[in-house]
Chain A
Amino acid sequence: MIDFQNVSVTFKQNRKTVEAVRNVSFQINDGDIFGIVGGSGAGKSTLLRTINQLQKVSEGNVIVDSKAVNNLKSTELRLLRQNVGMIFQHFNLAENKTVYQNIEFVLKVAGWKKNKIQSRISELLEFVKLSDKADTYPSKLSGGQKQRVSIARALANNTKILLCDEPTSALDAETTSSVLELLKKVNNDFGVTIVIITHELDVVKSICNKVVVMSDGKVVESGDVYSVFTNPQNDFTKQLIEHTNNFDIPAEITDIIKGPVLKLTYLGDNAVESILSDTAKEYNIRYNIIHGKIEYIASKPLGILYVNIIGEDKNIKLVVSALKEKTFSAEVIYNV
């Protein structure tokens, strides 16, 4: 378990002080895939780096497996780092070392015996599907391959915690999903706890089970991913989520429609068709479906439907409030 207890980090530079992390407390359980999201400069990287003490805390404690890592002596600290892997946005592989040598370095650091190193590296390269690239230099690899090597390197010493700082931000969409699949597999096959910083909410939606949202050094929202996404409490989180979820109704459509447009969201188990047909009958209105999709958040479905309601004003009012009852949320986003 990773436990942040009132952690603050303050940078002092030429009389200027920056409070990068302010009094943050939360816990990450073993086996979690834990997302940290937030805008640029929110303090995400700074917080993540306190876990392996690449960043010292100014106040508070960071407890990793019941040890306060902020008080460790240098030899204990090195031991901690040997058991916590880390991957980066720009991979940070040694350029003048082959794939094999990059992983070998970490194993030598952790004191592996020569005769074990080779078989461990083959095992790791097989796991990340790069067995044929052992003797290749990083400059010859694609971004996705580099990230897979750095995952192999981070896990080499059988680490149980993997810290990821924007691991997919330098990758295209397709490569991103293959790297995310690999991280899922790492979590699933080896029970590795993964802490992942990202500014892409899609990353959180697709692999995380828990998430914290940071803004200006503080944690402004936390919880399991599905409830944070479906029911954000904090304004900043709402903005973030709307930003990615919103569908702009094309002008061609807004020009011709009359009446309100509703955004309905419904959890996977709500039978939305029957709700629509029932309410249409009951309130004597018609629905025009403009756009609909189902998103998977932490593997659970969330339906989003944009409908235009046609009917008499007083009926429309009634049906909107009825829909608010029957679906997860119903919100008028457009009205003429």
Chain B
Amino acid sequence: MFENILSLREDILEALLQTGFMVAVSLITAVVIGGLFGILLYTTSSSHFYKNEIVRKITGLVLNIIRSVPFLILMILFLPLSKIIVGTKIGPEAVVVPLSIASIAFFARLAEASLSDVNNGIIEAAFSSGASKSRIIFSILIPEALPSIIRNITVTAISVLGFSAMAGLVGGGGLGDLAYRYGYQRYQTDIMLVCVIMLVVIVQLIQWIGDAVALKFDKKYQ
């Protein structure tokens, strides 16, 4: 059984790197762009900031549509876009585009929830000190929401990892792809098992790091 694994160790390593690449790029885009959408959703729903029902509802609707489309379909729909953006319709680079779009929508809602959880009284106190809206967003709102945002980044990272495993279905590469090709198509369960174990370890690792970092930033219950 170990011969199989040993002979494929370069493929396994490559798949690991591909997964790492897909998750890292999508997660960063999700945190930056999804985070901005989260701020948009929060500020357009609060009368202290830029309350605007129309913008909030349209943004919310678009994000919900993306979130309700199964990721496989989303990939098929957005791979043509990958061709335009990254120049190819296959491989991890191509998958990163639909993966980022799905993660943006996923994280935007979580970020909005994190921001809404900040005690309104703290925001009000900041306004009463004469601070500008943008200063309050960046110096009060986000730092206060940070522990919760970090926990939600962890949740997003693990979901993105799960999505990325589906990339194999369109030849996207990564651990999921490897597991699918060898385990399902060639009945080499040992390879599949190794891939699954690696995925489990990665999930645990992400969770463990995320919890530790969130705790470090959380001064509320320490």
Contact = CB atoms under 8 A, between A and B. Distances in A.
Interface string B105-131: 000000000000001011011111111
B7 interface: no
B222 A105 contact: no
A157 B130 CA distance: 11
Contact of B131 (A78, A85, A88, A150): A78
B127 A81 contact: yes
Contacts, number: 79
Nearest to B121: A92
B2 interface: no
22 contacts: A54-B127, A54-B128, A86-B125, A92-B122, A94-B122, A94-B140, A94-B143, A95-B144, A96-B144, A96-B218, A97-B143, A97-B219, A105-B126, A109-B130, A109-B135, A110-B129, A137-B219, A137-B222, A138-B219, A139-B219, A139-B222, A157-B129
B128 A81 contact: yes
A105 B141 CA distance: 13
B121 A88 contact: yes
Interface in B11-56: none
A322 interface: no
Contact of A96 (B126, B127, B146): B146
Contacts of B126: 94, 105
Contact of A78 (B132, B140, B143, B220): B132
B128 A86 contact: yes
A257 interface: no
Given A54-B124, A105-B139, A109-B135, A94 B144 contact: yes
A106 B146 CA distance: 20
Given A54-B127, A105-B140, A96 B217 contact: yes
B121 A90 contact: yes
A255 B58 CA distance: 74
A80 B122 contact: no
Interface size class of A (residues with CB under 8 A): 20 to 34
Interface string B187-222: 000000000000000000000000000000111111
A82 interface: yes
A96 B132 CA distance: 19
Nearest to A98: B219
Interface string A78-119: 111111111010101111110000000110111000000000
B160 to A, nearest CB: 26
A222 interface: no
Nearest to A80: B130
Nearest to B139: A105
B32 to A, nearest CB: 21
Majority secondary structure of chain B interface residues (helix, strand, loop or mixed): helix
A52 interface: yes
B49 to A, nearest CB: 13
B132 A88 contact: no
Contacts of A92: 119, 121-122, 124-125
Interface of A: 52, 54, 77-86, 88, 90, 92-97, 105-106, 108-110, 137-139, 150, 153, 157, 163
A80 B129 CA distance: 9
A82 B221 CA distance: 31
Nearest to B141: A94
**Top 6 A-B pairs ranked by shortest CB distance?**
A81-B130, A82-B130, A92-B125, A92-B121, A86-B128, A137-B219
B125 A95 contact: no
A95 B220 contact: yes
Nearest to A86: B128
A88 B219 contact: no
A323 to B, nearest CB: 51
Contacts of A94: 122, 126, 140, 143-144
A136 to B, nearest CB: 10
Contact of A95 (B124, B129, B131, B219): B219
A112 B67 CA distance: 46
B115 to A, nearest CB: 14
B125 A88 contact: yes
A100 to B, nearest CB: 13
The interface centre, meaning the residue of B130, B135, B140, B217 with most chain A CB atoms within 10 A of its CB, is B130
Contacts of A150: 125
The interface centre, meaning the residue of A52, A92, A139, A157 with most chain B CB atoms within 10 A of its CB, is A92
Contact of B130 (A78, A97, A138): A78
A201 to B, nearest CB: 25
Given A95-B119, A109-B131, A137-B220, 15 more contacts: A84-B128, A85-B129, A90-B121, A92-B124, A93-B125, A95-B220, A96-B144, A96-B146, A96-B217, A97-B219, A105-B140, A137-B219, A139-B219, A139-B221, A153-B129
B122 A95 contact: yes
Contacts of B147: 96
A55 B122 CA distance: 16
Contacts of B124: 54, 88, 92
A203 to B, nearest CB: 20
